[in-house]
Amino acid sequence: MYDTIIIGSGPAGLSAAVYAARARLDAVVLEKAAMSGGQMVFTDQVDNYLGLNGKSGFELAMAFREHAEAAGATFQEADVKEIQKTEEGFVVLTEAGEQLQTKTVVLATGAIHRHLGVPGEAELAARGVSYCATCDGAFFRNRIATVAGGGDTALSDALYLSRLCEKVYLVHRRDTLRGNKELQEKVFQTENIEFLPCREIKEIQGEGKVEAIKVVDNRTGAEEVLETAAVFIAVGMEPVTAYAASLGVLDEQGYVIAGEDGKSQVEGVFAAGDVRTKAVRQIATAVGDGAAVIQSVETCLQGR
């Protein structure tokens, strides 16, 4: 039986792995994908992580993974299906049929991209519809691209694409952007980014590839069709927590109800990173969560 199983290998999971290894806990990190790093991998440039300004998300992810391995962390590729509480602790069930027993669990599976849910989105996925500008932006060099959203990710995507594309539409359903002020200033200063406020994409059009979008002005109801070769969707994230539904630790949105110490309302269940209820979701806060949660895990194990 493990002391703890860390589910997820993004910045929170990798940070927790380092601290668990240093604490000499019998632990394993379960990662669904073959590559560690979570959403961080898809970030073109990380300019707000202290001391590592300008690193790409991929570079940072590899550095985090190497650090965890050097500390002695153990990794296993596994897709977690369910977690069941037992008298001794927990059983983690995987899609492959494995049953891993552990005294505690750390939920660090992060969040995934939210979809628009409009006609053409699913049909044209990977044919011009994308959720990662840094992954797919180069395919649309010198063409017109569209970004949907108004937060930090959407603004960063628009700025990144502006360096590649002829023109970038930034479509947001509100009249003001939600991203940080520095990014907003950069967006408004970039000549080939056109901000379309109070607009919503109602349909993504094209035969076999994205060719246009139908947008509606939510103030007037007026519709227009805009030519575009790509639609990059950045309208928020959804927590990856379906596997933990039976534990009784999730809020209405699916996030784990937990404080900065990572403790949930169920003894032995902890959360770190974007998966937990929190105001700020950044690489830096996820790494901090990973450090704090293992201290809580140690306290829990000592009290058994």
Q: Which residues are catalytic?
A: 132, 135-136
Q: Which of 240, 236, 301 is nearest to 7 (CA)?
A: 240
Residues with Cβ within 8 Å of residue 105, at least 6 apart in sequence: 4, 5, 6, 7, 83, 90, 92, 268, 269, 270
Pairing mode, if any, of strands 2-7 and 99-107? parallel
E strands within 173-252?
193-196, 199-205, 212-217, 223-227, 230-233, 237-239
Give CA separation, 30 vs 58, 81, 100, 297, in Å: 19, 12, 11, 17
Spell out the residues 6+ positions from residue 259 whose beta carbon is closer than 8 angstroms to its own: none
The amino acid occupying position 61 is A
**How remote is the C-alpha of 166 from its chain's centroid?**
28
| DSSP state at residue 220 | T
Decide if 28 contacts 12 (C-beta within 8 A).
no
63 closest CA partner among 90, 25, 36: 36
Q: Which ranges constitute the DSSP H helices of 23-142?
A: 57-71, 133-136
Closest CA to 233 of 139, 140, 118: 118
- What would you measure as the largest C-alpha separation in the chain, in angstroms? 63
Q: Are strands 237-239 and 111-113 parallel, antiparallel or unpaired?
A: antiparallel
